[in-house]
């Protein structure tokens, strides 16, 4: 996957050309050549004296509308049951930070790091499965904090197993330092990596780590 996308749009005289995104230098020069061929044909068809002006105008438009922009890494962060109560429940374990505050910090971080963050939460198992299925062709990676479903949901595990994009399993607390039933994760053996015990900061670590995984896979 190319991490740059090129967009060329230009207008001139009686004809409007719009060239869709392309991703190689060869394609770019081919499109430019095609443009000037059309430009010359129009000049001869409508006004043989307009060629110098139109050529200058076309070059000006090309220089002003050709943009090369970094493609953002699209990452979805999926949160499971009871995480909507962060900041209220078991503050000794989860702290005072709310899920909304975490979402805001993730998106602010993403804006600085060329990561387009989509944030989701549901208490319903089937809804989480829907989020996962919808991520297959829309995102480059998944961060999932499945909450209590981590230890019980075969459906969520199976939905994740279908994905060909990298997955990071995330937990705010250290699940291996809590009740025995939390030590078993149905997700871990299909996740690329696991982050747990870093509190809300774990979300930022997950985004940063997943971005690096995506970059490595597409080199």
Mind telling me the catalytic residues? 94, 171
Distance CA 127, CA 145 (A): 14
Enumerate residues 6+ apart whose C-beta is below 8 A from 52.
none
How big is the CA angle at 192 (ends 191 and 198), to the nearest 5 degrees?
Answer: 85
Query: If you compute the radius of gyration of the chain from its CA atoms, what whole number of angstroms results?
Result: 25
Return d(Cα 178, Cα 157) in angstroms, integer: 22
């Amino acid at each position: 996957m190319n991490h740059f996308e090129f967009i060329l749009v230009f207008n001139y005289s009686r004809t409007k050309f719009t060239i869709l995104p392309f991703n190689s230098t060869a394609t770019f020069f081919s499109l430019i050549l095609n443009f000037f061929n059309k430009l010359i044909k129009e000049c001869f068809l409508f006004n043989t004296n307009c060629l110098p002006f139109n050529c200058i105008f076309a070059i000006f438009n090309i220089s002003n509308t050709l943009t090369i922009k970094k493609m953002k890494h699209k990452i979805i962060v999926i949160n499971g049951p009871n995480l909507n109560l962060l900041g209220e429940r078991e503050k000794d374990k989860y702290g005072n930070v709310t899920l909304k505050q975490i979402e805001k910090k993730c998106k602010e971080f993403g804006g600085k790091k060329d990561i387009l963050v989509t944030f989701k939460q549901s208490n319903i198992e089937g809804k989480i499965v829907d989020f996962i299925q919808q991520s297959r062709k829309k995102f480059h990676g998944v961060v999932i904090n499945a909450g209590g479903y981590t230890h019980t949901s075969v459906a969520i595990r199976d939905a994740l197993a279908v994905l060909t994009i990298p997955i990071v399993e995330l937990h705010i607390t250290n699940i291996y330092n809590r009740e025995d039933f939390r030590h078993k994760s149905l997700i871990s053996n299909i996740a690329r990596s696991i982050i747990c015990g870093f509190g809300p900061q774990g979300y930022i670590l997950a985004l940063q780590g997943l971005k690096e995984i995506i970059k490595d896979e597409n080199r």
